[in-house]
């Protein structure tokens, strides 16, 4: 394994990416092939596949997230490894090239502002109906809105890549469905919906708490989660404020950045939670469990002040 890392990786700290890719290659891909090509599969095997998929989903997405921000591959392996990730991304409901262009070339450029197609600012962010509108917009309108965004930015090359990505993905899934409807639903359609839900529930939560008086401040439009199993499994993705401040920072350095700048965090008054993950926070928001969120808040303020702060930052930014 050390030999593989030395040959493939620029930085040995990214060894977990190799492990994640190997798990997908030798567990999820054979399992999906068995499900799809074996004909009729009972419901228990389908459920087992979806549980396995969900277990792999978070680490895979956050590995891809880090690869997009900071390529870990040595020059010789960069193209083949990126191609392979795009290929296996089909099992995760990811049209080729979409994640990179949506996240790096649009989301980080716009910073959850009015121009961000995944912006949360205009919503009441503890409203399920608001989130449902947000989610359905992503599903049905993004294939049109994202190319138009890039055309307006005079990046027609990016726009055509997105058009190709969606066209290829939908044709691929339609072809799979035509030959085996049950297998396609199990291996492609249901996982795609699960993945898209995870992406948009996660992004919603990461930017659920926005200070309307200063919505462009990274400390006040993002959150950070510490002491969480999620960070161990998903490459410190809970340090989302630090990530937006320093998008190119190596994922292993995020906790140290947070500890080093604690005084600045306290001055800026961001929302930092302990032990939770984004999906749990999303769940608490949808059920308006604001007081429960207060219990996980990291800081020295009174519970009443924190509760008021949480409620205030969930309100729509009417200037967006």
| Tens of pLDDT, residues 111-159 | 999 999 999 999 999 999 999 999 999 999 999 999 999 999 999 999 9
pLDDT confidence of residue 39: 75
Per-residue tokens: 108? 């980080």
DSSP-derived secondary structure letter, 223: E
Question: Are 8 and 74 within 8 A, CB to CB?
Answer: yes
The rounded distance, in Å, linking the Cα atoms of 254 and 239 is 6
The 3-state DSSP class for residue 68 equals: helix
Burial of 125 (0-12, 13-18, 19+ CB in 10 A): buried
> Global pTM?
0.96
Neighbouring CB atoms inside 10 A of 19's CB total: 12
pLDDT confidence of residue 320: 47
pLDDT confidence of residue 3: 66
Torsion angle of C-alpha atoms 236, 86, 96, 190, degrees rounded to 10 = -70
Question: Are 276 and 295 within 8 A, CB to CB?
Answer: no
**What count of Cα atoms within 13 Å lies in the side-chain half-sphere of residue 160?**
4
The rounded distance, in Å, linking the Cα atoms of 282 and 208 is 9
Q: Walk along the chain (320 residues) and give the pLDDT tens digit of each residue.
A: 666 778 899 999 999 999 999 999 999 999 999 999 987 789 999 999 999 999 999 999 999 999 999 999 999 999 999 999 999 999 999 999 999 999 999 999 999 999 999 999 999 999 999 999 999 999 999 999 999 999 999 999 999 999 999 999 999 999 999 999 999 999 999 999 999 999 999 999 999 999 999 999 999 999 999 999 999 999 999 999 999 999 999 999 999 999 999 888 989 999 999 999 999 999 999 999 999 999 999 988 999 999 999 999 999 997 64
> Residue 282: enclosing H or E segment and its boundaries?
helix 278-286
The rounded distance, in Å, linking the Cα atoms of 206 and 120 is 9
Those residues whose C-beta lies under 8 Å from the C-beta of residue 212, and which sit 6 or more positions away, are 312, 313, 315, 316, 317, 318, 319
> Residue 234: enclosing H or E segment and its boundaries?
none
């Amino acid at each position: 394994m050390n030999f593989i890392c030395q040959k493939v990786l620029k930085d040995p700290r990214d060894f977990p990416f190799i492990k994640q890719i190997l798990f997908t290659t030798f567990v999820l891909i054979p399992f999906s092939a068995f499900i799809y090509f074996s004909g009729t599969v009972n419901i228990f095997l389908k459920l087992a596949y979806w549980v396995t998929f969900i277990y792999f989903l978070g680490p895979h997405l956050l590995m891809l997230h880090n690869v997009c921000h900071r390529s870990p591959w040595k020059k010789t392996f960069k193209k083949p490894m990126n191609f392979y990730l795009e290929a296996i991304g089909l099992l995760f409901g990811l049209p080729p090239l979409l994640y990179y262009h949506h996240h790096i070339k649009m989301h980080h450029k716009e910073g959850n502002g009015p121009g961000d197609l995944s912006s949360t600012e205009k919503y009441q962010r503890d409203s399920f109906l608001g989130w449902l509108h947000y989610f359905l917009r992503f599903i049905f309108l993004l294939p049109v809105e994202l190319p138009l965004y890039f055309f307006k930015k005079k990046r027609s090359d990016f726009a055509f890549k997105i058009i190709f990505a969606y066209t290829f993905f939908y044709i691929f899934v339609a072809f799979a469905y035509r030959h085996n409807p049950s297998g396609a639903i199990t291996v492609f359609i249901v996982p795609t919906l699960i993945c898209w839900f995870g992406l948009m529930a996660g992004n919603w939560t990461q930017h659920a708490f926005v200070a309307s008086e200063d919505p462009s401040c990274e400390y006040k439009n993002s959150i950070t989660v510490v002491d969480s199993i999620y960070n161990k499994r998903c490459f410190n993705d809970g340090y989302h404020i630090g990530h937006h401040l320093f998008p190119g920072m190596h994922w292993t350095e995020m906790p140290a950045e947070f500890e080093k700048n604690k005084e600045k965090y306290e001055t800026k008054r961001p929302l930092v939670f302990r032990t939770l993950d984004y999906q749990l926070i999303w769940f608490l928001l949808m059920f308006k469990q604001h007081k429960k969120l207060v219990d996980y808040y990291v800081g020295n303020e009174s519970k009443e002040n924190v509760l008021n702060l949480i409620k205030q930052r969930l309100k729509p930014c009417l200037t967006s």
